[in-house]
Amino acid sequence: MSRSATATIHLDALRANLARVHTLAGDAKIMAVVKADAYGHGLERCARALGDADAFGVASIADGLRLRAAGHRQRIVVLSGPDAAGDIAEMRRLQLEAVIHHDAQLAMLEGENGGAPLKVWLKLDTGMHRLGFAPERATELHARLRALPAVDPDIVLMTHFASSDEFDNDLTARQTQRFLDASRDLPGERALSNSAGLLGWPQARGEWIRVGGLLYGLSVAEGKTGADFGFAPAMTLTTRLVAVKRIARGERVGYGATWACPEDMDIGVAAIGYGDGYPRSAESGTPVRVGTAPAAVIGRVSMDLLTLDLRQAPNAKVGDVVTLWSLQLPVETIAAHAHTISYELTCGVTRRVLFAEEGA
């Protein structure tokens, strides 16, 4: 018997979310960020649904290869660029574009001779302090890159925000100002914002927006769901109830016996656990649905199974559909109960979960 845990991907939601991003972004071009297997939704199926994007953003050359193999002709940007000199030839062959953020990569490009020029995105570190060059070096680096035969002289300038999801945190305004100051005299397009930047920081628009989360209907803004901004979740995670049983008051449920029944009550057991990507950190009280009735996680999440309080689902029976997250049960709510963000939950759905598509 196959397991019941199923992630249904709503292709129509992906399409509608991209259309809404285009509307919010005005004239800016959209890079659809599809790293980590499209935030766990499946690279090929999402790229197909997001075919109207101006470019794709990936974390590896291997993902760029998958997109080219699927027939995508758009620009594809490898968000951390080449790791080794051999990567450059592969990127050229696949017509992938490279984010250049480090002197080691500059040295690789300076060592190249011949071949079609590589398109480059020059990344400045304006305050996140992850990838990027010091902004004061922008003019020098831009000139060095443009002088290289291995590099296409049409360079995009980019930076990345640390706190754009906090709409009252002025770090984003300071990062934007540093970026604009450093790149003022340089030609070329600008790419500053991610999803939260698009929502909260119109002054950071530039010619490109790099959007991931919102395409999947996900929000990282504290206390907000994608739906609060008019986006539809692209994943529904469901399974089935495999047991319903009566447990006496005072008996304890699950590993570690962490949860005690406050009364004689029905509990349910659902066929999903952390081996499927349902977070072990989800606390007792995390909401789920059994059919259309509300229920809640009790006790510890195990590898294959989840125990549920069925007191509000009196008609529950073996075989009923159990919904872990959906349009009605936002993954952001589950993430809050598990002390993480929605992105980690969708990225974490494992290979043994069956993936289904809906909405052609």
Ligand X SMILES: *Cc1c(COP(=O)(O)O)cnc(C)c1O
Name which position in 16, 79, 124, 296 contacts ligand X (CB under 6 A): 79
For the question of residue 278 being annotated catalytic, the response is: no
User: 152, exposed or middle or buried, with CB in 10 Å at 0-12, 13-18, 19+?
Assistant: middle
d(CA 214, CA 53): 13
Q: Which long-range contacts (CB under 8 A, 24 or more apart) does 58-61 make?
A: 58/34, 58/96, 59/35, 60/35, 61/87, 61/90, 61/91, 61/94, 61/96
Stretch that binds ligand X, among 7-15, 112-120, 192-200, 248-256 (CB under 6 A): 192-200
User: What sign for the dihedral angle of Cα 86, 92, 97, 102?
Assistant: positive
Could you give the C-alpha distances from 3 to 191, 269, 315, 321, 352, in angstroms and in order?
43, 14, 23, 13, 8
Residues 141-160 touching ligand X, rule: CB under 6 A, are 160
288-307 mask for ligand X (x: CB under 6 A)? --------------------
230: which 2 tokens? 């008019």
295: which 2 tokens? 């229920």
- Which bin fits 81, alpha (ψ -120 to 50), beta or left (φ > 0)? left
Stretch that binds ligand X, among 189-197, 285-293, 327-335, 349-357 (CB under 6 A): 189-197
C-beta of 159: minimal distance to ligand X in Å? Answer: 9
Does 323 help bind ligand X (rule: CB under 6 A)?
Answer: no
C-beta of 165: minimal distance to ligand X in Å? Answer: 8
Name which position in 194, 286, 323, 346 contacts ligand X (CB under 6 A): 194
DSSP letters of 81-102? Answer: --SSHHHHHHHHHTTEEEEE-S
C-beta of 325: minimal distance to ligand X in Å? Answer: 17
Q: Which of 35, 39, 123, 274 is catalytic?
A: 35
Q: Which of 119, 255, 278, 317 is catalytic?
A: 255
User: Which residue has the closest beta carbon to ligand X?
Assistant: 212
For the question of residue 29 being annotated catalytic, the response is: no
Residues 27-56 touching ligand X, rule: CB under 6 A, are 33, 35
Choose between 278 and 343: whose C-beta lies nearer to ligand X. 343
Q: Are 193 and 164 in contact (CB under 8 A)?
A: yes
203-222 mask for ligand X (x: CB under 6 A)? -------xxxx---------
65: which 2 tokens? 């290869």
Choose between 9 and 261: whose C-beta lies nearer to ligand X. 9
* Bridge partner residues of 322 (DSSP): 239, 290
How many chain residues touch ligand X (CB under 6 A)? 11
Tell me the catalytic residues. Answer: 35, 255
Residues interacting with ligand X, by CB under 6 A? 33, 35, 79, 160, 194-196, 210-213
